[in-house]
Chains A and B, each alone.
Chain A
Amino acid sequence: MSGTGGTGRMSGTGGTGGVRDRVHAAEARTGARTGLGRVLRSVLLVVGLPAVLLTAWWVLTDGSTSYFNPPLRTIVGTFGETWFGSPFAESRFVQDVVPSVLRLLAGYGIALVVGVVLGVAIGSSRALRAYAEPVLEFFRAVPPPVMVPILMLFLGIGTSMKIVVIATGCLWPILLNTVEGVRGLDPVLRDTARAYRLGRAATVRHLVLRGASPQIVTGARQALSIGIILMVISEMFAAKDGLGFSIVQFQRSFAIPEMWSGVILLGVVGVLLSLVFRAVTNATLSWYLGYRQSQHGGA
């Protein structure tokens, strides 16, 4: 049994990655299948349960007269008209969803740059780390939404407030994980870099950033979900536009199917962003994933 798993893994290391070789191993166990059957089976596995759940939602609510639980048919019916109404340039998608996502990306980008730069600086110096750590731990522990009323004092309720809210919320996980990653660098590699007299810039680029990147990605992933939360929350406090603002507006005006369509759209935005994130990290961390896999396979 373990032999089968082992060979599956070995053949997988040359291929694309973890998922596929896990599937290989699973199939080696359940017995060989024909090519077409295999494709059909994996498609069914991916689509099966969501289809069942959606159908159940559709059927169970179809005759619903409940005010708060409109039929899925109605929600889907209002979806296109609510978000993609004509003309397209004046639709809510362009007026509300796009600004929200742009603010998220701006705040997230700022947090990423500041967090990594500060994290590398703090992580490289033992004294600086001891000096800054308690303060940073405090700021990380402050639940980011409580910063919204504070930042509203300084920046009003405009776009800059929202970007800063997102940036300050996303900063801490990135910063602290970068510090951890830099701290945990292999000392042998550090000494090697020194022995080869790598310049400061080269050391940071090839050793520090690369070595810390798995940790940075972990922080960036946590930050992304916080960022989405803050994108919505900052708009729920006060705003003129945005996805979160629209949803609250629908709720307050008791436009329930429209509100549900907004909730679904927000969910889809979250899922899409996490897919993009995964694609980016798979591309940048392919060396690490391969390395870890070879370590696993060798063990």
Chain B
Amino acid sequence: MSATLPAAVRVWGLGGAGVATLLLVVELVPRLGIVDARYLPPTSQILGALAERLGRAELWTALGQTLTTWFTGLAIALVAGVALGVVIGSVPWLRAVTASTIEFLRPVPSVALIPVAILLYGTGMASTLLLVVYASFWQVLVQVLSGVQDVDPVASDTARSYRFSPLTRIRTLVWPTTLPYAMTGLRLAASVALILTVTGELLIGTPGIGRLLGVAQSSGAVASMYAYVVVAGLLGVAVNLVARALERRTLFWHPSVRGEAVA
């Protein structure tokens, strides 16, 4: 936006050339026999399979299911993470008591819960949701906790000497400081949530893009497999773009975003 037009055109042109190179390489490598076309079909076949899938309701239904699981899980994790983070972060003794437990539970890989989820909830959406919520919750919580801790001590003391009520304190002091951290947490959680949504669909069999990919794999439809990988990748790109745009819009007042716009 702020860059001069020719530079922007140049960046876009180079980026487009990069994408074109990738498409060309994937087209040529199997055609020249460098890689077996049964393992890697040329671009044209992948895109053909994709175009054909795009015309079917099946893909769109699956996309909707994946997005529903992803969004529900992310929303639960976000609300829980922000609420608990603000409460735990604002109360020093609570923070001290929970620190070791959080540090222990956070690195526990969420996929460890797959067998437990299957036993508890079968193959439905709840199984995958359990994984998604567990994985993305920690991302949000940890960020919010460090955000709450980052409150300027002078501002905090000022708020206290003016006898701000706890609610006012949170609204005018803690929240503006925490918001950038929470947005970072949201951005990280959004992509982690997508990873686990697809994982759950692939391994547990919850309906969605991941399950379609699993079905394509077991029926040996290689071009379709690649088509679904492309769909999953584009979904990931969309998630990243939306998360970044949201971050920029919510934090338009924050120096980090303002500085970026100027530079």
Q: Which residues of A contact B (CB under 8 A)?
A: 1-2, 5, 26, 45-50, 53, 68, 127, 130-135, 137-150, 152-154, 222, 225-226, 228-229, 232-233, 236-237, 244, 247-248, 250-251, 256, 259-260, 262-263, 266-267, 270-271, 273-274
Distance to closest chain B CB from A39 (angstroms): 15
Quick one: given A142-B232, A263-B115, are A149 and B237 in contact (CB under 8 Å)? no
B112 touches A267 (CB 8 A): yes
Once A132-B18, A270-B108 are accepted as A-B contacts, the answer to whether A150 and B240 lie under 8 Å apart by CB is no
Selected contact of B229 from candidates A49, A135, A150, A237, CB within 8 Å: A150
Please state if B111 and A256 are interface contacts (CB–CB under 8 Å).
no
B213 touches A50 (CB 8 A): no
CB-based contact B120/A229 at 8 Å: no
B113 at the interface (CB under 8 A from A): yes
- Chain B residues closer than 8 Å to A26, beta-carbon distance: 92, 96
The residue that B112 contacts in the complex, of A45, A134, A263, with Cβ under 8 A, is: A263
Q: Which of B74-107 contact A (CB under 8 A)?
A: 92, 96-101, 104, 106-107
Report B184 CB to chain A, min CB distance, Å. Answer: 11
Considering the complex, give the chain A residue whose CB is closest to the CB of B108. A267
B222: which A residues are within 8 A, CB to CB? 153
Residues of B close to A256: CB separation below 8 A: 119
Q: Does B166 contact A (CB under 8 A)?
A: no
Judge whether B97 and A49 touch: CB under 8 Å: yes
Interface pair A141/B240, CB less than 8 Å apart: yes
Contact A2 B153 (CB under 8 A): yes
Q: Chain B: which residue is nearest A1 at the CB level?
A: B157
Closest beta carbon of chain A to B29's beta carbon, Å: 12
Determine if A142 and B233 form an interchain contact, defined as CB atoms under 8 angstroms apart: yes
Interface centre among B14, B112, B191 (most CB of A within 10 A): B112
Give me 27 A-to-B residue pairs in the complex whose CB atoms sit less than 8 angstroms apart, sorted by A's number. Answer: A26-B92, A45-B99, A45-B100, A49-B101, A68-B119, A130-B11, A131-B14, A133-B18, A134-B18, A135-B18, A137-B237, A146-B202, A148-B202, A153-B38, A153-B40, A154-B39, A154-B40, A229-B109, A229-B195, A232-B112, A247-B114, A248-B114, A251-B118, A260-B116, A263-B113, A263-B115, A273-B107
Residues in B with CB closer than 8 Å to A149 are: 202, 213-214, 217, 225
Instruction: Report the separation of the CA atoms of residues A124 and B234 in the bound assembly, to the nearest whole angstrom.
Output: 27
Main secondary structure of the interface of A (DSSP, over half): helix
B194 CB–A CB distance under 8 Å:
yes
Measured in the bound complex, the distance between the Cα atoms of B117 and A263 in whole Å is 12
A44–B87 Cα distance when bound, in Å, is 21
How long is the Cα–Cα vector from A161 to B203 in the complex, in angstroms?
Answer: 17
Q: Is the CB of A145 within 8 A of B229?
A: no
| Contact in complex: A233, B111 (CB < 8 Å) | yes
CA distance A148 to B226 in the complex (A): 12
Name B188's closest neighbour in chain A (CB-CB): A222
Q: Does B167 contact A (CB under 8 A)?
A: no
Q: Which of B17-40 contact A (CB under 8 A)?
A: 17-19, 21-22, 38-40
A247 in contact with B112 given A53-B101, A130-B15, A150-B229 (CB within 8 Å): yes
Cα-based distance from A274 to B97 in the complex (angstroms): 21
